[in-house]
Amino acid sequence: MSELRCFVGSYAELSYGIAILGIDTAKGSMRFLRVERGIERPSYLRVSGDRRFLYAACKRTEFADTGGGALAAYAIAEGGQLRFINAKPSYGGPPCYIMTDKDDKYVFAANYREGNGAIYALQQDGSISGEGQKIQHTGSGPHPERQTSAHMHCMEPDPDSKIVYAVDLGLDAVLAYALADGEKMLIRLPEADLHEALGAGPRHMIFNRSGSRAYVINELHCSVSVWNLEDPNNPDRMQTVDMLPAIWQDKENTAAAIKLSEDGRYLACSNRGHDSIIFYTIDAKSGLLSLNGRYPCAGSGPRDFAFVPGGKYVLVAHQWSDTVALHRYEEGSLVVEPTQILTLEQQPVCLKFFQ
């Protein structure tokens, strides 16, 4: 396999931007290639399905006099060079998540602080079009500091792009919306909501390939919930598993990223504080989780990680130590000693492979 390329999102100002790494899976090595500058605080990224476009959630507090962040669209040229297309307001600040549907017809963003989200239509040239639609959550949870109001952390469409789930850390809930063509693109679907335990603080979610199971990572409780979505209008929470060992239960930690292996057989999650990647085996019939192991990662604050295409490595972004580490991956486990560590500027927080 030729050298793979990966975008690295960060909290960088305009003087830095998005870093590009090259990953050599034959040698187990990586190298810093360059920085695409002029992109302010690109904290979360999404590469289109055809890998022609990049969408960035720019964690700004002011854009186009809207008092919020921005969603930016870029064309991806050979080698990862980016050409700016356009940008739209996120209708809240600052955006922490960006995603598209399976056909790249829509782009979704979540604004953590203000507890709202946005959806825009996408054009064939990759541009973000129209005025978009804003959705606002209200309410609170029991945590005295983190749940005083709604805090949308993620907007994730199901594999068929029929339902969009807005994961809200402040409400201990995942609110569902039907995706529809028309002026109102998201229509509330309360019967499909997922309700987590009080104080759990849901952060992100992913689906198995069929969409019959959803996995929700809870930032505050440091847990993962398994949901049966065979009937989306009657969701059933089948299982909740703790991510931390018993000896760490009373120590400071927050859960961060959740990913599926390429073959769909394993689920992995990251812990900030415990600074580890946890692997679970997914039962092929039930979708339930069983613990494989907890593996220390070679850095502090693993906000994001990615399975490197080809299935032999995992790349981890450490926000607090400003590093990315490449670990060998072996069938639901991680080799603790990394093959290489790179130091990057401005808090690497998101990893997206594009070539």
The alpha carbon of residue 84 and the mean position of all alpha carbons in its chain are separated, in whole angstroms, by 22
Tell me the mean pLDDT in the region 273-279: 98
pLDDT at residue number 67? 64
Q: Do the bridges between strand 70-76 and strand 186-188 make them parallel or antiparallel, or are there none, so unpaired?
A: unpaired
Pairing of strands 18-24, 4-10: antiparallel
Stretch 57-86: mean pLDDT, rounded?
83
Give the residue with greater pLDDT, 67 vs 50: 50
d(CA 303, CA 307): 14
Residue 17: per-residue pLDDT: 87
- Compute the half-sphere exposure of residue 137: CA atoms within 13 Å on the CB side of its CA: 35
Percent of the chain surpassing pLDDT 90: 87
| Tokens representing residue 94 in the block | 């600052």
Confidence bin at 253 (pLDDT 50/70/90) = very high
Whether residue 62 is predicted with pLDDT greater than 60 in this model: the reply is no
Q: Mean pLDDT across the chain, nearest whole number?
A: 95
Rounded CA-CA distance 329/336 in Å is 9
Please state, in angstroms and rounded to a whole number, the distance separating the CA atoms of residues 107 and 126: 10
Provide Rg for the chain, Cα atoms.
19
Question: Does the pLDDT of residue 65 top 90, yes or no?
Answer: no
Strands of the sheet with 340-343, listed across from one edge: 302-307, 313-318, 323-328, 340-343
When mean pLDDT is compared across 65-69, 80-84, 260-264, the lowest value belongs to: 65-69
Q: Specify burial of residue 201 (Cβ count, 10 A radius: 0-12, 13-18, 19+).
A: buried
pLDDT of residue 60: 66
pTM above 0.85, yes or no: yes
DSSP SS3 for 277:
strand
The pLDDT of residue 255 is 99
Class of the domain covering 1-31+243-355:
mainly beta
Tens of pLDDT, residue by residue over 184-200, are: 999 999 999 999 999 99
Q: Determine the pLDDT at residue 249.
A: 83
Model pLDDT for residues 334-354, shown as the tens digit of each residue:
999 999 999 997 899 999 999
For the ranges 62-71, 73-82, 235-244, the maximum mean pLDDT occurs at: 235-244
**What is the percent of the chain where pLDDT is above 70?**
97
CB of 239 within 8 A of CB of 288?
A: yes
In 152-196, where does DSSP find H-type helix? none
Average pLDDT over residues 136-157: 98
CB 178 within 8 A of CB 162: yes
Q: Has residue 59 got a pLDDT over 90?
A: no
pLDDT at 292: 97
C-alpha span between 226 and 212 (Å, rounded): 10
- DSSP code, position 189: -
Give the position of tokens 């199901």. Answer: 158
Helices marked H in 7-136: none
Residue type, 354: F
Question: Could you give phi then psi for residue 129, rounded to 5 degrees?
Answer: -115, 165
Q: What mean pLDDT do residues 152-170 have?
A: 98
User: Cα(33)–Cα(342) distance, rounded to whole angstroms?
Assistant: 12
* Domain range summary for the chain, segments of one domain joined by +: 1-31+243-355
Residue 247 has pLDDT above 80, yes or no: yes
pLDDT, tens only, 105-141? 999 999 999 999 999 999 999 999 988 999 999 999 9
